Chains A and B, each alone.
Chain A
Amino acid sequence: MFEIFTLLANWLAYDLVGLSPDTKLGSSLHFFIEDTTKILFLLVVMIYLIALARASLNLERVRAYIQQKHRFMGYVFGSGFGAITPFCSCSSIPLFLGFTSAGIPLGITMAFLFTSPIINEVAVIMLWGLLGWKFTLAYIVIGMAVGIIGGMILDAVKGERWLKDFAAKAYQAAAAETREHDVDVPEAPKLTMAERHQFAKDELREIVGRIWKWVLIGVGLGAALHGFVPDGWFAENLGSGQWWSVPAAVFAGLPLYSNATGVIPVMESLIVKGLPVGTTLAFCMATVAASFPEFIMLKQVMTYRLLAMIFVILLANFMVVGWIINGIGPWLFAGF
């Protein structure tokens, strides 16, 4: 179903511009045209459809759902809602406090915040379009696992001790109280189709307006890698799946700050050029999920000690994920 974009790129790059598919420039340009048109098309259609479906989902309802769940399921739901809830990173702090002051454990709130930048509809659409459903599924499972396990570790070490005072007090007061009675999920606002359409249209404009540059930059980088780095270069020069390539990728990804949109097209090229899948994923997660702007924001509600702890937990998670996937990758992605 995506052939039309290949044909379009053939026509533009080879016929109209007159480049040969055998040249580096020709193959880069072809890649760039094919991927940008395909991704932008998919994004516009899917963001609209998904927004229609989730127009009535708001944070108050999400919070009530999570509160109702048993502790373990709380992590899974926290992470799952982090993936599907529309939410702008500038709302991290109010959201964090809204959860905390409702007595939701720190680890569950952080499972939400960890997963949120890694998995969102844009990332999923791009992965599916570029790398196929198998890889997309693996990415979702891994993204949620990073959030769930990160959250569990935080609670296991009683991370809430190192919240800022006002946040810790709000949490304790609420945790003591909510055990007494059950929480009711507020009813979904009744929306007409016209209201849903309006919401979806606004979402579409907002999201595409925000990410189109990232798509171009990401695909541009991916295209350059695609055309100018020989196939298998990484495998020859970095070794295939040596253990140190994973931490190296994590530390290389840290100072880079991108969202998932910018990094996924690069991932595609890295994998095709022979970088092991686990190493690539570790790089991607370090770029997307551990971002300094986010950490600076969280400083408003957390002490440095807690921030450092979160940082270390995340890094350790990325590395473990990288190693595991490199270990089982050949079996998991046979024929990829």
Chain B
Amino acid sequence: MKRVEVLGTGCKKCVTTAESIERVAQELAQSVEVIKVTDPAKIMAYKVMSTPAVAIDGKVVHSGSIPERSKIVGWLES
């Protein structure tokens, strides 16, 4: 099971990002664990400067915006 972390200090865009990842995962019938990371120290440890950012299994794959659907599909299917 993939571990998807959405990094962000709790703004609306971060919530939207987490929701759309969950939705796409459901559509693809993939089981993922989506975790919202709001702790600034953890976000710093990932060296992310623009949020929302997404890390999959501990690796940052995206930062700075709400990811497009095609991107999410790409992450979940790889």
Interface residues of A (CB under 8 A from B): 58-60, 63, 87-88, 90-91, 93-95, 97-99, 101, 166-167, 170, 202, 297, 300-301
Contact = CB atoms under 8 A, between A and B. Distances in A.
Contact of A88 (B10, B11, B53): B11
A98 B13 contact: no
B69 interface: no
Given A88-B11, A88-B13, A94-B50, 5 more contacts: A91-B50, A94-B44, A95-B50, A98-B44, A166-B40
B50 A87 contact: yes
A166 B42 CA distance: 10
A157 to B, nearest CB: 23
Contact of B47 (A91, A95, A98, A166): A98
Contact of A93 (B13, B43, B47, B64): B43
Given A88-B11, A90-B11, A301 B51 contact: no
Contacts of A91: 49-51, 64
14 contacts: A88-B11, A91-B49, A94-B40, A94-B48, A94-B49, A94-B50, A94-B51, A95-B50, A97-B40, A97-B44, A98-B47, A99-B49, A101-B44, A166-B41
A93 B9 contact: yes
Where chain A touches its partner, the secondary structure class is helix
Interface residues of B, number: 20
Given A60-B49, A63-B49, A94 B13 contact: no
Contacts of A101: 44, 47
Contacts of B43: 93-94, 97
A99 B7 CA distance: 17
Contacts of B7: 94
Nearest to B7: A94
A90 B47 CA distance: 16
Contacts of B40: 93-94, 97, 166-167, 300-301
A60 B53 CA distance: 14
Where chain B touches its partner, the secondary structure class is loop
Contacts of B11: 88, 90
Interface of B: 7-14, 40-41, 43-44, 47-51, 53, 64-65
B13 A95 contact: no
Which of A87, A93, A170 is most buried by chain B, counting CB atoms within 10 A of its CB?
A93
A60 B41 CA distance: 18
B9 A297 contact: yes
B41 A94 contact: no
A166 B44 CA distance: 10
Contacts of A87: 50
A95 B43 CA distance: 10
Nearest to B49: A98
A59 to B, nearest CB: 4
A90 B44 contact: no
A24 B9 CA distance: 47
A301 B44 CA distance: 11
B78 to A, nearest CB: 22
Nearest to A300: B40
Contacts of B65: 202
A300 B7 CA distance: 15
B12 to A, nearest CB: 8
Nearest to B44: A97
Contacts of A170: 44
When A and B form their complex, which 4 residue pairs have the shortest distance between CB atoms, in order from nearest? A90-B11, A98-B49, A97-B44, A59-B49
